[in-house]
Structure 1
Amino acid sequence: MYREGIVTDKKTKLNREGCFVNVGLLNEVFLDKPLTHGVRVTVRIEDPNKPKKLKGTAVSPTEPTLKTGVYWGYSVRIANTLSDVFTKSPYEGGYDAIIGTSDRGDPISSIDSKSLNYNHALIVFGGLKGLEAALENDDKLDVEDPKLLFEHYLNALPDQGSRTIRTEEAILVTLSALSEKLSPKVPRMVCKFNELLPQSSDTS
C-alpha cells in the first residue's frame, strides 16, 4: 500500500536511526531512513494490517503508478519559453505525439478513434491570447504560424460561442475529447483498488 506523507519532528526511541511520517492515518509510519522534517515523501507501507506499528520505505513518486497502474498525481516543470516546452522534455527521445490546441485548429472530430499512438504525448494550451502570443515572445522559434510546431493543431470546441475559453476549462474539454483518440503504446495496467486501499480501522 502506498501513501503520501510529511516527515514529522517526532523523535525515535533511544535515538534509533529513522523518522516518522504522517500519512493521514491514526498512527504515523516509521521509516528506517532519517529524512528532513517537513519534507513530503511517497511511502510504501510494508504491512497495513498492523495499524499500531506501521513501517514503511521511502520510494520514488513514480513507483505507485509503475507498480500498480494507479493514478498518483502529476509533477510540474518550468519552461521559460515555448521552445523549452519541446526541447527540455524529461523523457529520453522527447515527445512522440505533439498536439497544440487553438480555436484556429482543425476540429478534433477530424481525428480517428485510437489513431494517436504515443509513448509520451505533449498537449499544449495557450493563455487568453493563444499560442500566437507565446510564439511571438520566443526568439528561438523562426516560424510565424504556431500550427507548424505541432503534428496536430486541434480545436476541441468548434463554435464555442465565446471569444475565449479559460485555460482550466479548455484542459477539461480537450482531455475529454481526446480520451477516445489517444492510444498509448504501453498497455494501461488494470488497478485492483480493493487491494490498494488501506484496510486499517481508522479508514474503513
Structure 2
Amino acid sequence: MGPPTKPLSKSWNTYNREFKEKRKQRWEEKLVKKFKQRNVDRSVEECGVINQTLRMGKSPVSTISIAVPGSIIDNAQSPELRTYLAGQIARAACIYKVDEIIVFNDKGDVPVNEDNITRKDNTLGEEGIACLQLARILQYLECPQYLRKYFFPLHKDLQYAGVLNPLDAPHHLRQQDVSLFREGVVTNKPIKSGKGSQINVGLFNHVHVDKVLTPGLRVTVKISLEQENTKKLSGIVVSPNMPRSETGVYWGYAVRLARNITEIFTKCPYVGGYDLSIGTSDKGSSIDDIFPSKLNYNHALIVFGGLSGLEAAIEQDPNLNINDPTLLFNEYLNTCPGQGSKTIRTEEAILVSLAELRKKLAPKYCPLKNLQFRKTSSSFHN
C-alpha cells in the first residue's frame, strides 16, 4: 500500500457556507426559544389589553382621520424640503396614531393642459402634482422597509427619500423581532396548484398561507408563535385592522386622495361615514371652551387648511355653496388661541391640533362589523 493520501483542504467558499449555515441554525434556535417564552402569558395579556381598553370606554377600532391639502408642499423652497415636509406630516400622524390621511385638492379644478399643474398617474389618474407627491411619500413612509422595493420603484417623487426620518411604527418590524402579526407581500415562488401561497414577511423564510393570492399583493399575516420549525412557518391572512382590534397595537395609516373637500366626506371608507368632523382655523371658536373628553366619536375627521386657510378651500369647491364654514363641520376650532406668530404652518398645526384634541376626544365602542378593510391592495404603490 502506498502512503495515505492527504485530505483535500476545504475551499474558502465551503468554509463560508458552513459558517453561514451554523449562524442561521443558532439564530433559529434562539428565535424558537423566544417564541416559547413570549407565548406563555400572551393570550392572558392580550385579553387584558382589550378588556382594559373597553372598560376605559376606548374601543381599539375607533379611528381618527386627518385631511391635509396637497398644496402645502408647494410652499417649500426646494425639492428636498418638499420631501422633508411630507415626512413631518407622516411622523405627526404616527405619533398620534392616525388611521387615515386624506390628501385633498384645495385649488379647485385645474385645466388638464396647463403645464406643471397636473400629471397623469396609472393608478391615481389626473391630480395635482403636489397631491400626488404628498400621497406617494406618505405611503412610502408607512410601508415597512423590507417591502418598499416591491411597491416603490424608482420615482422622481422619492428622489430625496434619504432625508426622511423613519416612522419606526410598531409594524415596521426587524428580522429579529417577534410579533404575532406581520405585513408581507405575496411572492411568485412556485408552489403546487391550489396549495396556497408564499408570503415574504421580512424573515429568513417565507410564510405559507392556505389561500391562493395574486403575487405582488400586500397582506397582513397572523403567524402562530407555537411553531417549532421556523424553516416551514405557516400563517393566515387577516384584515389589516385585526392587529389593532385584537392587541390594541397601532398598525399604521391608510392614504387616499380627494379632488375637493366634498370627496373627503362622500368617499369615506367607513360604514356610516364620519360621526365627528372638526375644522381647524384661527377664525374658529377656542378649543379651551371644550371640556375634556366631550367630543365622542367612532370615526373622527380633522380637516386642516392650506396657506389661505379652510375658508379659501371651501370657496374653491364647486359642490359647496356655503359662506359659513361652521355649517360643514360639527366643530370649527381654533386649536392654538392667542398664538404669537401671525400664521401657523399646516405641518405645525397638525402637531398642535392633535396634541390639544387628544384631551378632548373620547372614542366610543365601534363594532368590528362596521369597520371596512383599511388596506386590501397596493393601491397607490405603482
Which structure has more relative contact order (CA 8 Å, sep 6+)? It is 2
Using the TM superposition, give the Cα deviation of residue 48 of structure 1 relative to its aligned residue in structure 2, in angstroms: 5.5
**Alignment match of 2:206 (pick from 12, 28, 44):** 28
312, 316, 327: which one aligns with 1:133: 312
Residue 151 and residue 4 in structure 1: after superposition, are their counterparts in 2 closer, same or farther (change >3 A)? same
Determine if the alignment matches structure 1 residue 93 to structure 2 residue 272. Answer: yes
Match of 1:37 among 209, 215, 223: 215
- Matched-pair contact (CA < 8 Å) for 2:194–2:212: no
Asked if structure 2 preserves the Cα contact closer than 8 Å seen for 1:47 and 1:54, the reply is no
In structure 1, distance between residues paired with 2:244 and 2:197: 25
SS of the residue corresponding to residue 147 of structure 1 reads helix
CA separation in 2, counterparts of 1:21 and 1:166? 42
Q: Structure 1 pair 28/35, CA: closer, same or farther in 2 (3 Å)?
A: same
Higher strand share: 1
Tell me which amino acid in the other structure corresponds to 1:47. L
Query: What is the CA–CA distance in structure 1 between the aligned matches of 2:253 and 2:211, rounded to whole Å?
Result: 25
Please provide the CA RMSD for this pair. 2.0
- Does residue 182 of the first structure (1) align with residue 361 of the second (2)? yes
CA shift at 1:15, angstroms? Answer: 5.6
1:80 aligns with 2:259: yes
Counting helix residues as a fraction of each chain, which structure ranks higher?
Answer: 2
Match of 1:173 among 352, 360, 364: 352
Residue 61 in structure 1 maps to residue 243 in structure 2: no
Counterpart of 1:145 in structure 2 is 324
Q: Which ranges in structure 2 are unaligned for 5 or more consecutive residues?
A: 1-179, 367-382
Comparing 157-166 with 37-46, greater Cα deviation is found at 157-166
SS of equivalent residue, structure 1 residue 5 = strand
Residue 118 (1) aligns with residue 297 (2): yes
Rg larger in structure = 2
User: 1:108 matched to which residue of 2?
Assistant: 287
TM-score (ref. length: structure 1): 0.81
Q: Aligned partners of 1:166, 1:18: CA distance in 2, in Å?
A: 49
The runs of 5 or more residues in structure 1 that have no matched partner are: 188-204
TM-score normalised to structure 2 length: 0.45
Shift of the 163–37 alpha-carbon distance from structure 1 to 2, 3 Å rule, reads farther
Distance 1:49 1:139, change over 3 A: same
The alpha-carbon deviation at position 119 of structure 1 amounts to 1.6
Once the two structures are superposed, residues 90-123 of structure 1 have per-residue CA deviations (whole angstroms, 9 ceiling, x without a partner) of 2332222111001211221111001011122111
Find the counterpart in structure 1 of residue 182 from structure 2. Answer: 3
Letter in 1 for 2:197: C
CA contact (8 A) 2:296 2:362 kept: yes
Identity, in percent, stands at 58
